[in-house]
Structure 1
Amino acid sequence: MVPSLFNINEPVIFGTPIVMNPVFFIPFLLSPMVNAVLAWAAMKLDLIGRVISVVPWTAPAPIGAAWALGWDFRAAILVILLACVSAIIYFPFFKVYEKQLLEQEAEEAQRVAEESQQTA
């Protein structure tokens, strides 16, 4: 999780697994789009300022957002809220994936139990 603080997301994307997992395809596309629209709307409604500087990509998201908007800390709050929105979007898909894994685990446990009974 520490690399994610600095926008190095490959360990999470490939380790979860999000990439090549059909369950996570929809939230993987939907979450950034929703976040972009909400951030755009916040700027359009003057809830946060406009971008005035380019920030290094390794800056932690809340700090980088505040920095890019001239240290407008409302941007940092928006980033935290958008992370919560992403979590809400992903949660049902994680539950579906968890259910699939639990079913696979139960099938594997049953198969192992049947094999051990046959050898006994």
Structure 2
Amino acid sequence: MVYLAIKSRSKQLKSVGKVGAIPAIFNINEPILFGFPIIMNPLFLVPFIFVPMLNATIAWFLTSAEVLDRVVLMIPWSVPAPIGAAWAANGSYMNALMVVFAMVNAYFIYLPFFRTHEKILVEQEEERAKRMQQAQAAQ
């Protein structure tokens, strides 16, 4: 989501993406959750609920099939995700790859919802700019 926001055509999303980029690396996602907003936004309800469920189910099945190593250590929540997954499972690179897969999976599931939200915001920004120009011309 942060990558999408930084590359967005919307000024609002671009600024939220820039502000939220560094905190997101350390699992601090409030700038994104409340800046987009994802919280209380019916457009993002479906991916916000189903992406974590899907990724957790995939990870559970891969752990049950012994493709992923089991977690043996509780690490601080602020450790970046792929590193944290590897450390929690005694340095398992497969767990780190699962996190990268989950991130790519989330990217593609969120993409159509994000594009729709971006389109709405760009239209609002263009409308606001037109009104500003009209107000300046009237003076």
Q: TM-score range by the shorter chain?
A: 0.7 to 0.9
Structure 1 residues 115 and 8, CA, compared in 2 at 3 Å: closer, same or farther? closer
Report the Cα distance in structure 2 between the residues aligned to 1:39 and 1:105, rounded to whole angstroms.
40
TM-aligned CA deviation for residue 108 of structure 1: 3.0
TM-score, normalization by structure 2: 0.75
What stretches of structure 2 of length at least 5 have no aligned partner?
1-20
Taking only the aligned residue pairs, the percentage that are identical comes to 44
Structure 1 CA distance for aligned equivalents of residues 135 and 22 of structure 2:
42
| Distance (Å, rounded) in 1 between the aligned partners of 2:100 and 2:49 | 19
Greater C-alpha Rg: 1
Which string of whole-angstrom CA distances, capped at 9 and with x for unpartnered residues, describes residues 47-81 of structure 1?
Answer: 11111111111111111111111111110111011
Letter in 2 for 1:41: F
Gaps spanning 5+ residues in structure 1: where? none
Name the structure 2 match of 1:43.
Answer: 63
What residue is the counterpart of 2:127 in the other structure? Answer: 107
Matched, 1:12 2:42: no
| Equivalent residue for 1:69, pick from 57, 71, 89 | 89
> 1:115 Cα shift?
4.9
Q: What TM-score does the superposition give when structure 1 sets the normalisation length?
A: 0.86
Aligned-pair Cα RMSD in Å = 1.8
Structure 1 residues 27 and 111, CA gap change in structure 2 (3 angstroms): same
- Looking at structure 2, the residues matched to 106 and 2 of structure 1 have their Cα atoms a distance apart, in angstroms, of 29
Farther-moved stretch of structure 1 (5-14 vs 102-111): 102-111
Aligned residue pair count? 119
